[in-house]
Amino acid sequence: MGLGNPGRRYLRTRHNLGFLLLDRVAETRGIRIGDERCESLVGRGEWERESLVLAKPQTYMNNSGLAAAALLRRFRVRGADLVVVYDDLDLPFGRLRIRCGGSAGGHRGLASILQHVADRDFVRLRLGIGRPPAGMDAVDYVLSRFPDEQQDSLDGVLTRAAEALEAIVLEGPVRAMESFNRLH
C-alpha cells in the first residue's frame, strides 16, 4: 500500500511518494493499477512467484486506515503481510528506512492505519523528504511539489525504493533492512 492523496492537485507532491513508488513498480512489473475496490485503486500481479496486490487508497491520507483494513479483509491477509510505503519528514530527501512495527511518528496516514488495523507489525518503507525550510508549515511542505534539484534525483530514489520493496517481498523485511537501512 502506497500512501498519498487522490486527485491531480496532489499528483507529484512529496506526500504522494507512496503513490509514485507503486506507479514505478506497476510499470516495471506490467501491473495495471485501476480496479476500484476497498476504497483504493488496486492492481494485482506477481513478483517472482509471490502474489502481489498494489493499492493506492482513495480516502485521502488522514483516512488511509479505512482502506488498509478493507484491503486486509478483502484479500484475507494478516497485517504482517502488509507493506506500507510513505513519505517521512524525519529522513533527509532520498534516504529510506525499513522497519516492522512501531509508532506513527507523527504521520497522520500511518496513525490512521494503526487506528484501524489490529496487527500493528506491518512493514513500513519510509521514504525521506526532509524537513521544511524555516518558517514553512509542515502541511504546506508535504503538499508541495519537489523542487527542481530534487526532481532530478527522484528517479534514482524511486529506483532504489523499488529495489528495497522487491527485497521485502522476496527476501523478507529483516534481510531487506540489513541491505537497505545502512545505505545513504
Residue 161 lies in a domain: yes
- With respect to residue 2, please indicate whether it lies within any of the assigned structural domains: no
- 3 inside domain: no
CA distance 133 to 50: 41
Q: Which domain holds residue 76?
A: 8-180
By percentage, how much of the chain surpasses pLDDT 90? 91
* Model-wide pTM > 0.85: yes
> Which domain CATH number covers 100?
3.40.50.1470
How high is the pLDDT of residue 45? 94
Our answer to whether residue 116 is catalytic in this structure is no
Give residue 49's pLDDT: 86
- Strands in the chain per DSSP E: 35-37, 40-47, 50-57, 83-88, 96-100, 123-128
**Per-residue pLDDT reduced to its tens digit, 31-68:** 999 999 999 999 999 988 889 999 999 999 999 999 99
| Assigned domain for 148 exists | yes
